[in-house]
Amino acid sequence: MRRPDPRRAKVHFNYTVAEAALLFDVHRNTVRNWTRTGLRTFRAGKAILILGEELRRYLTDRRAERRTACPPGSMYCLRCRAPRTPAQGMVEAVSVTQTTVNLRGLCDDCEGFMHRRASLARLEEIGFGWVCVHAATAEPSR
Ligand SMILES: [Zn+2]
């Protein structure tokens, strides 16, 4: 998988989903997926925009996340900057593609949102075999 270079985003620019996709040479759905896994957007009139600074932050955080191996049953918490166990064993799983899901839980430590992308086939192996996977909800019109 390609690793988008966070430095491509200009700190003082705003990007639409389409512009960010062009910038990082990824599909628009990839950028939409980023917005579901911690990339913050804001609304300007009818447009959904992403701050260049925020794109940098998100992609830099994701790199840190990839460098840290999460033990089974844990997810990487961006706030704690460490793998954490989801609070009360509550995890939401939403399918992204036929074969991958996004897991979301609350950090046991700081109560921040945590995400983990996982292959459906490996859910058992990474300690989330028990979660029930929901189909992604219809894309809000953007
Ligand atoms: Zn945390």
Say what the pLDDT of residue 50 is: 98
Taking residues 11-26, what's their average pLDDT?
Answer: 96
Tokens 């491509």 sit at which residue? 8
CB-CB neighbours of 110 under 10 Å = 14
Domains and CATH numbers, the chain: 1-67 (1.10.10), 69-142 (no CATH)
pLDDT tens readout for residues 27-53: 999 999 899 888 999 999 999 999 999
Say what the pLDDT of residue 2 is: 63
Taking residues 5-32, what's their average pLDDT?
Answer: 95
Judge whether 107 and 74 are in contact, CB under 8 Å. no
- Tell me the CA–centroid distance for residue 81 and ligand 1, in Å: 7
Say what the pLDDT of residue 48 is: 93
Tokens 């029930």 sit at which residue? 132
Say what the pLDDT of residue 32 is: 94
Say what the pLDDT of residue 141 is: 47
Find, among 128, 35, 140, the residue nearest to 89 by Cα.
128
Q: Residue 139 — pLDDT band, cuts 50, 70, 90?
A: low
Say what the pLDDT of residue 68 is: 78
Cβ neighbours of residue 10 under 8 Å, at least 6 residues apart? 52
pLDDT tens readout for residues 103-137: 999 999 999 989 888 888 889 989 998 888 877 66
List, as ranges, residues with CB under 5 A of the ion ligand 1. 77, 79-80, 107, 109-110, 112
- Tell me the CA–centroid distance for residue 84 and ligand 1, in Å: 7
Cβ neighbours of residue 55 under 8 Å, at least 6 residues apart? 6, 9, 15, 20, 39
CA–CA gap between residue 21 and residue 32 (Å, rounded) = 9
CB environment 119-137: b (16+ within 10 A), e (fewer)? eeeebeebbbeebebeeee
Judge whether 138 and 108 are in contact, CB under 8 Å. no
139 strand-pairing partners? none
pLDDT tens readout for residues 46-92: 999 999 999 999 999 888 777 778 889 999 898 898 899 999 888 99
Find, among 142, 85, 73, the residue nearest to 110 by Cα.
85
Say what the pLDDT of residue 142 is: 47
- Tell me the CA–centroid distance for residue 141 and ligand 1, in Å: 32
Q: How much is the pTM?
A: 0.61
